[in-house]
Amino acid sequence: MQQIVLASRPDGAPTQDNFRLETADIPTPGEGEILVEVSHMSLDPYMRGRMDDAKSYAAPVPVGGKMEGGSVGRVLASNSPLFKEGDHVFGMFGWATHSTADARMCRKLDPDQAPVTTALGVLGMPGFTGWWGFNEYGRPKEGETLAVAAATGPVGSMVGQLAKAKGLRAVGIAGGADKCKLATEEFGFDACVDHRAHSDFKSLRAAMKEAAPDGIDVYFENVGGPVLEAAISLMNPFGRIPLCGMIAWYNAGGLGADAAQEGLTAPKLWRTILVNFLSVNGFIISNHWDRYPDFVNEVAPMLKDGRVKYKEDITDGLENAPQAFMDLLTGGNHGKAIVKVK
Ligand code: NDP
């Protein structure tokens, strides 16, 4: 079997040197465990945080340890009554061709319900993140305006489509004309601002203001950086900000320091939050899995009848995972980033 381990911790943006492809023996499942042959693995922005030795909501990957991540595959052997050989399964199998896992921590998949790769994106953790944050902390109301960046990714595209389904104006922010076209033509956003086409803050803010002429009521925060500053300055009174991610700063290593370099004017932001009575709620989706069945019950039918669409960006070969991951962090992915392992 092959696996990718963390060879060293990155200093800023990750490089190939931070990863190492290793060959190892296929592991034997213990009592209550299954052995899985992975077909597809997910690449997610949170993995960048695991590469740092920083205090966070989850422990870092140790140097020399297998990179973490969710994947789907087939059960090759089972020591658990929960799974039998051949079952399709999702679990945290890491960046590897094979893995053993505690069967209780894995989820059986029905390929007749939806393609198994959807368990990594639209019907998996990212889609659930968009659904949960938007409903729980966005508290959307018909006729309001929602804005979300990384609008064509699995989180942002879910948020935008749910907003449209609930009768909001949906404004996307995405990097590049192609992604903006995808956002409006495929995911149904009313407008999309290409943040990479606006190098100065004033012009970015003006473009966002034009896209959200009535102001923003729900800003679903995925990115940080200048988009965040512009969005907050356009918020309506009593607006809500589900604080989901801040990918623009993930390579900063010590987020605070880099935020200052980017010109983040924290005092102005905080004052705007105060005088406009805004609600900001940070969340980590892994604390909310109890609501996952509700998400699937609502969104799986929408996926089946085409009310919710999704896009996947599939890279071939485990050995290409590091490059695909580095691309994800800088916007090189067009849709949910997945690696085809087998
Ligand atoms: P995506 O597949 O959308 O990939 C990330 C995207 O971020 C890139 O494609 C790029 O899109 C955008 N991006 C990168 N750098 C910048 C930048 N400097 N400014 C603006 N945008 C940038 O990711 P996901 O949908 O998987 O995740 C979206 C966010 O949600 C991330 O911040 C992630 O960490 C967070 N998240 C949080 C969770 C939680 O529990 N709180 C759970 C899951 C995800 P573009 O080219 O369009 O700019």
Q: What separation in Å is there between the alpha carbon of 44 and the centre of ligand 1?
A: 8
Query: How far apart are the C-alpha atoms of 267 and 110, rounded to whole Å?
Result: 50
- Number of alpha carbons in the 13 Å side-chain half-sphere of residue 206: 7
Cα of 250 from ligand 1 centre, angstroms = 10
Cβ(248) – ligand 1 distance below 6 Å: yes
**Span from the CA of 27 to the centroid of ligand 1 (angstroms):** 34
- Which residue has the least CA distance to atom 31 on ligand 1? 245
Ligand 1 atom at minimal distance to the Cα of residue 243: 41
Q: Please give the model's pTM, rounded to 2 decimal places.
A: 0.96
Burial class from Cβ neighbours inside 10 Å (0-12, 13-18, 19+) for residue 97 reads buried
What ipTM was reported for this prediction?
Answer: 0.99
pLDDT of residue 269: 85
Distances (CA, A) of 229 to 29, 50, 54, 63: 50, 26, 25, 35
**Minimum-distance ligand 1 atom for the alpha carbon of 336:** 2
Q: What is the pLDDT of residue 89?
A: 98
**CA–CA separation, 4 and 37 (whole Å):** 15
Whether the Cβ atoms of residue 128 and residue 295 lie closer than 8 Å to each other: yes
| C-alpha span between 210 and 191 (Å, rounded) | 9
Q: How far apart are CA 6 and CA 107, in angstroms?
A: 26
Q: Indicate whether residue 46 lines ligand 1 (CB < 6 A).
A: yes
pLDDT the model gives residue 255:
55
Alpha carbon distance 328, 335 (integer Å): 10
Rounded to the nearest angstrom, the distance between the alpha carbon of 156 and the centre of ligand 1 is 8
Question: Which two structure tokens, joined as six digits, stand for 123?
Answer: 């019907």
pLDDT in the model for residue 256: 47
Q: How far is the CA of 31 from the centre of ligand 1 (A)?
A: 38
Nearest ligand 1 atom, CA 173: 47
Q: Does domain 2-120+311-340 have CATH number 3.90.180.10?
A: yes
| Axis crossing angle, helix 125-136 with helix 292-304, rounded to the nearest 10 | 110
Q: Domain coordinates of the chain in residue numbers?
A: 2-120+311-340, 125-285
Residue 274 neighbours by CB distance under 10 Å? 9
- Cα(258)–Cα(224) distance, integer angstroms: 11
> Residue 58: what pLDDT?
82
Mean pLDDT in runs of 10 for the chain (342 residues)?
97 95 96 98 96 82 97 98 98 98 97 96 98 98 98 98 98 98 98 95 97 98 94 97 92 56 69 94 97 97 96 98 97 98 91
Question: Taking CA 96 as the corner, what is the angle to CA 67 and CA 255, rounded to the nearest 5 degrees?
Answer: 20
Determine if ligand 1 sits within 6 Å of the CB of residue 156: yes
Q: Which CATH number fits domain 125-285: 3.40.50.720, 1.10.1380.10, 2.60.40.650, 3.30.420.40?
A: 3.40.50.720
**226 C-beta closer than 6 A to ligand 1:** no
Cα 282 to Cα 114, 230, 243, 245, distances in angstroms: 31, 19, 4, 9
